[in-house]
Amino acid sequence: MAPHASRLGRRLLIVAACWMLAGMVVAQPDDATLASQRAAFKQAYAAASQGGDRWRALVGGLQDYVLYPYLEAASLQHDIQEVDRPTVESYLRRYPDLIPADDLRRTFLQELARRQDWTDFVAMYQPGLGDTLTCDALQAKLAGNAPLDFDRDLATLWTEPSLPSACDPVLQAASEQGLLTSARIWARIDLAVDAGKGNTVASMVQWLPPAEAQAAQNLALAMNDPAAAAQAATQWPDTPRARQAATLALVRLARRQSDTADSAWQTLQTRLHFAPEQRDRVLNALAVFHATDFDDNALARLVNLPPSAQTPVSREWRVRVALAGQHWQAVLDAIDAMPASQQQDDEWQYFRARALEQLGQAQQARRAYASAADLSSYFGYLAADHQHAPYALCSTPLSAHAQGEQAVMAIPGMQRAFELFAVGMPKPARREWNRALANADAQTVRQAVILANQRGWYDRAIFAFNHDEALHYYDLRFPLASQDGLVPQAEQAGIDPSWAYGILRVESAWMSDAQSGADARGLMQLVPSTAADVARHNGLPWNGGNSLYDPATNIELGTRYLAQMAERFDGSPWLASAAYNAGAARVNQWVDARGNLPPDLFVATIPFKETREYVARVMYYSVIYDWRLHGAAAPISTRMVPIGKPYSRPDANDPRKDMTCPAPSAAAPAASASVPAAASAPAAPASSASAMDKAH
């Protein structure tokens, strides 16, 4: 055994010993007993979730099961309007450190506030349970005729740009007690403006003196209806608050209607004495959003933007507009105008090489391509194809250790997490996981991820291994889940399985219960209405929206939907990926406007940042999955077929590229290879990306 493995074993054995000494280890039942307990728990939990005591007749043999406390909590949650304080307190005494106990306390406190039972509320309240309960506690204080103290009671809440409705009576009382001075109100308005909370600004107007209320109303109008505000601003007095509101209106209007904002700016800059910083904000917004519209003078606007008005976004859009026109010297000039740190981004390294190549500077282009090709990313692989070089990928295998597994399984929270996942309750499973490993060292986390992967809980690796050296654990970060049938389903649908895997990985990060704000569901993030249409079109069974949380159903319908998208775009996986994210109609608009561009330039000029990055991630992940499936990968350039040219997916006879690990100094994966920790709310396919998503 290697020395580090020996140290790991000792460390994890110590962890296990600590838990055993604490008397908290639950003996693991045999497989047959565990299967029986899981089946009984599911039945009992379904009954408990309906309230009452019927679940108690179904718990034979479950009293020692690690999830037993979840049953009573589910019943009490359902019956919360009838539950009394002694019943809740009895549960809290028996399970003081469990997540269901925390949830029950919170829910019961909300119920006590609804009943306005402030005596019991105060007796059970604990600070730190969220803004709603904080404000309920202040209502309890007011009910006892105790005055509010701003610094003690409200100062922290006041820094929140928006508050729940439970805080309304507290704020009204604070106003009546004279605590909401104009200075405090304006401080909160400015916080709300910075956070984009127009409704909060509007709600503050009522507590301002009449002489100041109009200025706040102007700010609210600028946020909620910038076109109306820009028009009204022609009648506003030239005051600091009016200039603030006008600036806000012009910047927000530029995102939606750049020409209208331009006209309004020409009028307002002669009437209002904008501060230099305000002028720069407006000029930046006008330049950037004329650029996202690819107006004829967009490049000149960006080139002539004053240095004080330039930002990383305006600098990158200078490159994108130049790429759209294939003005290669302008591309090179725009990249050279970036700060050195921005130039190091793999995208700009790649496009520097492209520009040098197009300008005939072959030797410099080769060096630039070689540098970019050392990166494991979408742009790194595009660069490698220009060099006819292998792809950079440094994969580190991760093996299990018996002692490590024992230590992980000795943590009660991990036992509950794995059991919750096993019985089909992934959301509470993730909560138990996060709490159990909140202070764990890297070795323990790695062993926990290995155990999760063995159980088919694939998203744990994606969220745990999303930075630094952990990015090298490709086998775990890009799982192949044969039990979900993706490969045969993709084959039946006539699409490349590695592309389908790439879409799935980006959409849901392998969270089978993922649900977006647009109600896209499951692994491949299908909206129920779309899934129903796909099922009908393909003669497949449809059992309603909740069936999309079943991986096999989701993949069957998702691969067919991908095939439909591909069919609309000559089979092109990169264009179909853009349509999957932003909608086919919008992609057709972009094709009509810039369909003559090579694929790499077209992707770089997609107006929506989300969709640009989405396509890049999908194509990069497709290469990784091709390697995972075949040990080598079809070149990314063969997937990026020109617009209008039919695409044929790679077969066994097509050439593939090897993966090699560059020299250590350049081996670290690019940032684009990672997955943000916020992937729990994946983007819905065919969503309507709003103008607010443009550029930023």
Asked if pLDDT for residue 666 goes beyond 60, the answer is no
What percent of the chain clears pLDDT 90, i.e. is strictly above it?
Answer: 87
CB 101 within 8 A of CB 91: yes
CA distance 537 to 161: 47
14 burial type by CB count under 10 A (0-12 exposed, 13-18 middle, 19+ buried): exposed
User: Using N-to-C axis directions, what is the helix angle for 442-454 and 3-21, rounded to 10°?
Assistant: 80
Residue 288, pLDDT score: 98
| Active site residue ranges | 507
Residue 30, pLDDT score: 81
Residue 28, pLDDT score: 66
Neighbours of 531 (CB within 10 A): 27
Q: What is the mean pLDDT of residues 38-42?
A: 96
Both tokens of residue 182?
């104009």
In terms of Cα–Cα distance, which of 97, 23, 33 is closest to 65?
Answer: 33
CB 602 within 8 A of CB 643: yes
pLDDT tens digits for 211-265? 999 999 999 999 999 999 999 999 999 999 999 999 999 999 999 999 999 999 9
CA distance 619 to 378: 7
CB 594 within 8 A of CB 607: no
pLDDT tens digits for 267-316? 999 999 999 999 999 999 999 999 999 999 999 999 999 999 999 999 99
Q: What is the mean pLDDT of the chain?
A: 91
Residue 218, pLDDT score: 97
Q: What is the mean pLDDT of residues 139-163?
A: 96
In terms of Cα–Cα distance, which of 525, 583, 517 is closest to 554?
Answer: 525
- Confidence bin at 461 (pLDDT 50/70/90): very high
Q: What is the mean pLDDT of residues 426-451?
A: 96
DSSP, res 377: S
CA distance 512 to 504: 10
Residue 401, pLDDT score: 87
CB 437 within 8 A of CB 401: no
CA distance 67 to 201: 46
DSSP string, 4-38: HHHHHHHHHHHHHHHHHHTT-PPPPPPHHHHHHHH
DSSP, res 57: G
In terms of Cα–Cα distance, which of 643, 572, 635, 565 is closest to 601?
Answer: 643
Q: How many residues does the chain have?
A: 696
DSSP string, 480-547: --GGGTHHHHHHHHTS-HHHHHHHHHHHHTT-TT-B-TT--BTTTTB-HHHHHHHHHHHT-----GGG
Residue 404, pLDDT score: 87
- In Å, how far are 97, 360, 463, 613, 675 from 670, measured between CA atoms? 40, 28, 17, 13, 11
Q: Which single residue is written with the structure tokens 């991760």?
A: 398
Residue 155, pLDDT score: 96
Residue 665, pLDDT score: 54
Q: Taking the mean position of all CA atoms in its chain, how far away is CA 116?
A: 38
Q: What Rg do the C-alpha atoms of the chain give, in angstroms?
A: 29
CA distance 212 to 218: 10
In terms of Cα–Cα distance, which of 552, 523, 557, 528 is closest to 540?
Answer: 557
Asked if pLDDT for residue 128 goes beyond 80, the answer is yes
Q: What is the mean pLDDT of residues 405-424?
A: 96
Asked if pLDDT for residue 398 goes beyond 50, the answer is yes
Asked if pLDDT for residue 7 goes beyond 50, the answer is no
DSSP, res 146: P
**Secondary structure class of 608 (helix, strand, coil):** strand
671 contacts: CB under 8 Å, gap ≥ 6: none
Residue 376, pLDDT score: 96
466 burial type by CB count under 10 A (0-12 exposed, 13-18 middle, 19+ buried): middle
- Confidence bin at 27 (pLDDT 50/70/90): low
CB 682 within 8 A of CB 516: yes
Asked if pLDDT for residue 162 goes beyond 80, the answer is yes
**Secondary structure class of 50 (helix, strand, coil):** coil
CA distance 554 to 264: 49
Q: What is the mean pLDDT of residues 664-674?
A: 45
pLDDT tens digits for 52-94? 999 999 998 899 999 999 999 999 999 999 999 999 999 999 9
In terms of Cα–Cα distance, which of 578, 664, 670 is closest to 624?
Answer: 670
231 burial type by CB count under 10 A (0-12 exposed, 13-18 middle, 19+ buried): middle
Domains and CATH numbers, the chain: 482-693 (1.10.530.10)
Stretch (H or E) spanning 479? none
CA distance 325 to 313: 19
Stretch (H or E) spanning 660? strand 659-660
CB 359 within 8 A of CB 332: yes
Q: Which single residue is written with the structure tokens 């930002």?
A: 311
Asked if pLDDT for residue 688 goes beyond 60, the answer is no
